[in-house]
Amino acid sequence: MIKRGKPLDKGEINMTILACSLICFLVGRLFSSAPPQQINYFYGFRTKKSMKNQQNWERAQVLFGEVFEKIFRYALMVSIVWFVIDVALLIVGYENILFVSDIYQVLLIVVYQNRECFRYRVIVHPIDNEELMLTTKPRIDL
């Protein structure tokens, strides 16, 4: 258990990353399979553009679920692999290497998430006067 003022134990960082990756993957799966149908202020991917009309809302929820699930699927796989490595390091007794592996794991996940988040850009096209529709185009990396 993490207490205020107490430094983190070497294994607690990895367990936190694994748990957060699992929860975020499940949230992405939930949004992909059962996105919120009606525009609301409590549940869903809420931005000005997504809440402008029903078509934007539905597209934004599905797109959010797909991207979130994809990002955290890889984060979860990396977390599980590093969790196994960290358990092996604890058993063998190399706790100093364990902390380095946790830092490496965090950096790996952050770099991959940033790469994946900026792969797509959202473009807004006007349709029928004031209605808007969200579409995605692959981003061209120069």
Element (H, E) at 99: helix 95-117
Q: Report the pLDDT value the prediction gives residue 120, as an integer from 0 to 100.
A: 53
Handedness of CA 133, 31, 71, 97 (dihedral sign): positive
- Angle between the 54-92 and 95-117 helix axes, to the nearest 10 degrees? 160
pLDDT of residue 123: 46
pLDDT single digits (tens) 76-125? 887 888 788 878 877 887 777 777 777 777 777 677 666 655 555 544 44
pLDDT digits (tens, 9 = 90+) for 133-142: 444 555 444 3
Q: How much is the average pLDDT of 48-74? A: 86
Which one is predicted more confidently, 104 or 20? 20
Under the banding of pLDDT at 50, 70 and 90, the label for residue 27 is: confident
Q: What's the pLDDT at 1?
A: 52
pTM for the model stands at: 0.58
- Local structure of 123: helix, strand or coil: strand
Q: Buried b vs exposed e over 32-56: b needs ≥16 C-beta within 10 Å?
A: beebbeebeeeebbbeeebbbeeeb
In angstroms, rounded to a whole number, what is the distance separating the alpha carbons of residues 65 and 27? Answer: 8
pLDDT of residue 132: 44
